[in-house]
Chains A and B, each alone.
Chain A
Amino acid sequence: MKENAIEVKNLTKKFGHFLAVDNISFTVEKGEIFGFLGANGAGKSTTIRMLCGLLSSTSGTAKVAGYDINNEVEKIKENIGYMSQKFSLYDDLTVEENIEFFGGIYKLKNKLLQDRKKWALETADLKGKENRLTKDLPGGWKQRLALSCALLHQPKIVFLDEPTGSVDPISRRNFWELINTLSEQHITIFVTTHYLDEAEYCNDIMLIHNGKIIAGGSPNELKTKYLTSPILQVECSDPLAALDILQNEIWVNEVSMFGNKLHLNINNEKKDTEFLKKLLNKNSIDIIKIGKIIPSLEDVFIHLIENNKKGGINAR
């Protein structure tokens, strides 16, 4: 049986009357890459901050590395690494000085500190740049340095709060390669993001919306479990006009723009491509290409969030 690195039970956080995190429960297995997904303000950061001991919970419990977040915060702190999207490094210190400082506050000394410094410089690919001021480094390098600094004390779990928020696509890909390597070293990685393509790198995903978890599973599970209806991709002469028309059709669950294409989630197999062509042609929109596609995570999430909204309205 696999061990759990994180166990969350009925965790709730209220800010005044606002429920930021609403009674969530989930577990994260040791050594996996766990993606915590949601829109801005969905409750991602609030959850991560509670798990790291930056914020106290209103009710509920959670165990991180086997320690309770409500009364063993100090123990948790020794066992986790944390990196936020702002890469909290000291801009006016050099690369080496930043590593020494963060090593120092985790009580690394002498030989161990030297070893870890060497490791960090290699991991962040910053060898030979030890004396560069951090403020002069490009975003991608800063990001790698921030991650290595968060890993200096060899934590069992790393929390990454939107780690790729402000770097270019190539740095993002390199970063995820680094994360994969860490995962192979049995470090549990808890990452929040709103980039859905990044979610594909995760072993396990939770989707949080308005403080509630609305779906969870591996990327493949999500695609098959939650999205049973087919997805059509439509390329046409006037996608905006087509969007307007299709939104009002009852056989269409959701329609959304992906670049200049439309993705249609339909609930009636009989309304096939021919039917769609006729409908759009009637409105003098030419169809360039149409076909069934394998849903992306983005399709799944749009479906889930739309469903959640409808559910919310019905409940009222």
Chain B
Amino acid sequence: MLVKIKPIFVKEIRQIMRDKLSLGILIFIPVFMLIMFGYALNFDVKHLSIGFYDEDNGKTSRDFINSFIHSEYFDNKYNAESSAELDKLMQEGKIVIGVIIPSVFSKDIIKGKTTSIQVLIDGSNSNTGSTALGYVNAVISNFSKDLLVKEVRKKVNMDMTEIIDYRPRIWYNPELKSVRFLILGLISLILLMSSVISTSLSIVKEKENNTIEQIIVSPIKPYELVIGKIVNYILIAIISTIFIFIAGYFLFGVEIKGNYFLLSLGILIYIGTCLGIGLLISSISETQQSAFMLSSIISLLPAFILSGFVFPIRNMPVAIQLITYIIPTRYFLVILRNIVLKGSGLISFWKDLLTMFFLALLFFGLNIIRLKKNKI
């Protein structure tokens, strides 16, 4: 078996090495993508520009304004002279949030009456808008809670502390940096690309140039050809994964907290699943063009959209959620997050590992059925 695969392996390496451009693309584009996405694609919402129209202009209203400015989420304070000016600022895109404080604000508070303010939020970018709304809510409720506590203290004249001391701590990714999260998504996309697209293209190329026929008339069996070919792409995928982890560590401080062995195991099973998909694609497409299209549509796109990488799966309609079960990236992401970010053990992701393993078996099973019929 090894004797038969060796010439194919050697041939494939020679072809890959000759095509320096494609090799470079396979190995370095992933790192380049990481840098690009890592710096540019940012889901964090910070430094929102905010504007105020303070009709009241009293001490309480100024305190209120300061409680916004002191948080790191808001800056670029604009002070409008009228509500019309505030409207204009928002229309020009200078502010995302506008706050109008009525003239009765301070008086109402002193009297102990409920008062109201108006908050305008630019919803044209719904993501930023809803995050901003959350921040505004938090700031306002904090402010009114502080007022309440002060009033109560004054009335009962006793030392009263807060009933619940709320100090949230975020684990595993304390700064909630999206790059940590992103790098894992990228690793899974890149592995997917180099295994699905490279394998399917390389096999379909043999069909296009008719070299496959010359191999089928030889004593080599189709599966031997396939193994000889994919070994190379597994190696390339592993090399680019290592590069990504190195780049991720030095550029973005992403450390691997968990077990290296489990990580490697997860990566290998994932690559296996992807190769299975790649082989299926190559067996149904006749040209490199259609193989590329199919790879993008049935593997890359779902991995990006339906894996939970960008959009949370629990927010999807049930029918779509069902589809996500056959997307290997869904499981791989869970495994990666657990190992790399949390450093947790097999206990927390064995189900995902096992499901992915069964997916790999399923895809390979389908391939074996096709290969038995001598169809590559």
Interface residues of A (CB under 8 A from B): 52-54, 74, 77-78, 80, 82-84, 86, 88-93, 97, 100-107, 109, 149-150
Contact = CB atoms under 8 A, between A and B. Distances in A.
13 contacts: A53-B216, A78-B219, A83-B214, A84-B213, A88-B209, A90-B209, A93-B11, A93-B14, A101-B7, A104-B11, A105-B215, A105-B219, A107-B4
A83 B218 CA distance: 11
Nearest to B221: A74
Given A100-B10, A105-B8, A105-B218, 8 more contacts: A77-B217, A82-B213, A82-B217, A90-B11, A101-B10, A102-B214, A102-B218, A109-B3
B6 to A, nearest CB: 7
Contacts, number: 71
Nearest to B225: A105
B124 interface: no
Contacts of B323: none
A138 B256 CA distance: 54
A64 B89 CA distance: 86
Interface of B: 3-4, 6-8, 10-11, 14-15, 18-19, 209-220
Given A88-B210, A101-B11, A53 B219 contact: no
A80 B213 CA distance: 14
A52 B14 contact: no
Q: Which of B6, B210, B213, B214 counts the most chain A CB atoms within 10 A?
A: B214
A74 B10 contact: no
A89 B219 contact: no
Given A101-B7, A104-B10, A53 B217 contact: yes
Nearest to A56: B374
Given A52-B217, A80-B217, A106-B218, A91 B8 contact: no
A156 B219 CA distance: 15
A107 B217 contact: no
A78 B220 CA distance: 10
B228 to A, nearest CB: 9
Q: Which of A88, A93, A97, A102 counts the most chain B CB atoms within 10 A?
A: A88
Given A88-B210, A92-B19, A93-B14, A105 B220 contact: yes
Closest 5 CB pairs of A and B: A104-B7, A88-B214, A82-B217, A86-B210, A101-B11
A52 B217 CA distance: 6
A267 to B, nearest CB: 46
Nearest to A52: B217
Contacts of A90: 11, 15, 209, 211
